[in-house]
Structure 1
Amino acid sequence: MSMLSKPTSAARLSISNLSVNYGKARALANINLSVEQQEIITIIGLNGAGKTTLMRSITGLKKISEGEIIFNNKNLAGCSVDQRVKYGIAMVPEGRSLFPKMTVRENLVMGAYTRRDKEEITNSLDKVMNLFPDLKKKVSDRAESLSGGQQQMVAIGRALMSDPRLLLLDEPSIGLAPIIVQHIAEMIKEINRQHGVSILLVEQNARVAMSLADRVYVLETGEIVLEGPADKLRENTRVQEAYLGMKVKAG
């Protein structure tokens, strides 16, 4: 199966009773969360809520203390980061983490490091360029020369080069102008709806995040305090006041 084609099997993530500690401090407590095939799931929460810790736990960058993570019927306990990428999990980290002195092409190809078929890698690169046409004329430019929006496109494209079934996006709108945020949001929807990649999105911009999501989890101080369909949570007064900047009249 080539990158950006429809997955042949469900990309299902199931997290059960997950807890993560930093020393004696508990960063996440009893997290239960799922992502079904072709869903966009959003996690919203303030700084320090544990959103990035959760994403790092899924990718294997952070060791969990309790609970389990199941992806496509595979228990990820003991699986390395590379193994999880091979299973179909890719992450776009907060801040993009590009190689600034490397070209756009070189950065993108780094995302295919677990793959061996050169023809498939070339095909994936072509498809990323078609998804992000702004990068075509920048393919030989250094990443450090790009705008913030273009750098985010490279970061997403690099993750797609691993041929994922589940794409984790950590704060993709951070530092971007509103018009670029909207463009990135449209690309996320296309990756999900047209190409069958499930999305788990962490985002402080709750309005954008909830406009994309099928379901939403609200994370506060390491615990999930609310969850449900995006349209229902948009009507929740707690969400409106804390995350959407709305003043809700009493009574």
Structure 2
Amino acid sequence: MNELVVKSLSASYGLAVAFTDVSITVAKGETVGLLGRNGAGKTTLLKAIIHDPELTLRGEISVNNVSLGKFPAYKVARHGVAWVPDNRRIFTALSVAENLDLARSKTAPKDQLDRVLTNIPLVEKLMKRRGYELSGGEQQAVTIARALMSAPDYLLLDEPTEGLAPLIVEQLQAAIGALPAQFDVGILITEQNFSFVTGLADRVHILETGQMVWAGPPDELVSKPQLIDRHLSVGEK
């Protein structure tokens, strides 16, 4: 089965344990949300999946039945996993077009750029602009578009709404919501924005102090305010 599978995974930075015994799956074509307070281990889980060299890992990570073992990050990417970090990391001295071209995979369809621009419409009008000329929302859209240029099977989105205006968040939610159907991509998304995740996800997981404490459909989570208060300290927005 085509899935990204994390099984009994633990991660640490030296002696500092980030999370323990975490298991999660993401199938192609679905969106899985990862919620939790700051410091719960959400970002570290995404970094563990791409094998950030700063982390020490125990457990299993596989993509489409292929074990990633101790693959370096570039080999993880070649197996179809694309990461969109929370700090965007676009090349500010390059144009948007150049940023996208650098990320194009040799195995991507010839019309991948056209498909990306159609599905992330904000990006098309920015193609000639340099990275340093973009607003935060524009940079986020470009970062997602750049990740899609590798024609990934799985997209890891880390806090995509951080620092963005409400109107941009709404536009971003609509664009991300269409990606699984348009690109047959599985999405694992971490967020502090509760309504953003529950509005997108097919399933939601909650991390608390490095432990997976709840998993289920978003409607079930929304219907349990006591659970939300206990693990997230937020109400429905």
Q: 1:116 maps to which residue?
A: 106
Q: 1:142 maps to which residue?
A: 130
State the percentage of identical aligned residues: 38
Matched position secondary structure for 2:83 = strand
Q: TM-score, normalised by structure 2?
A: 0.92
What amino acid sits opposite 2:76 in the alignment? R
Query: Shift in Å at residue 110 of structure 1?
Result: 2.2
Unpaired segments ≥5 residues, structure 1 = 1-9
Q: What is the root-mean-square deviation of aligned Cα atoms in Å?
A: 1.8
Matched position secondary structure for 2:235 = coil
What amino acid sits opposite 2:177 in the alignment? K
199-208 or 61-70, which deviates more = 61-70
Q: 1:7 maps to which residue?
A: none
CA distance in structure 1 between the partners assigned to 2:145 and 2:227 by the alignment: 32
Q: TM-score, normalised by structure 1?
A: 0.87
Q: Does 1:54 align with 2:66?
A: no
Q: 1:215 maps to which residue?
A: 203
Query: Shift in Å at residue 72 of structure 1?
Result: 0.5
Q: Does 1:40 align with 2:31?
A: yes
CA distance in structure 1 between the partners assigned to 2:186 and 2:235 by the alignment: 30
Query: What are the equivalent positions in structure 2 for 1:142-221 lying under 5 Å apart?
Result: 142-221=130-209
Q: 1:71 maps to which residue?
A: 63
What amino acid sits opposite 1:233 in the alignment? L
Q: Is the 8 A contact 1:121 1:161 kept in 2?
A: no
Greater than 4 Å deviation, 4+ residue runs: none
Q: 1:27 maps to which residue?
A: 18
CA distance in structure 1 between the partners assigned to 2:86 and 2:11 by the alignment: 19
CA distance in structure 1 between the partners assigned to 2:28 and 2:183 by the alignment: 12
130-139 or 140-149, which deviates more = 130-139
Query: Shift in Å at residue 90 of structure 1?
Result: 0.4
CA distance in structure 2 between the partners assigned to 1:105 and 1:233 by the alignment: 40
How many residues of Structure 1 are paired with residues of Structure 2 in the alignment?
234
Q: Is the 8 A contact 2:4 2:25 kept in 1?
A: yes
Cα offsets for 1:99-126 (capped at 9, x unmatched) = 11110011112222xx336xx5762222
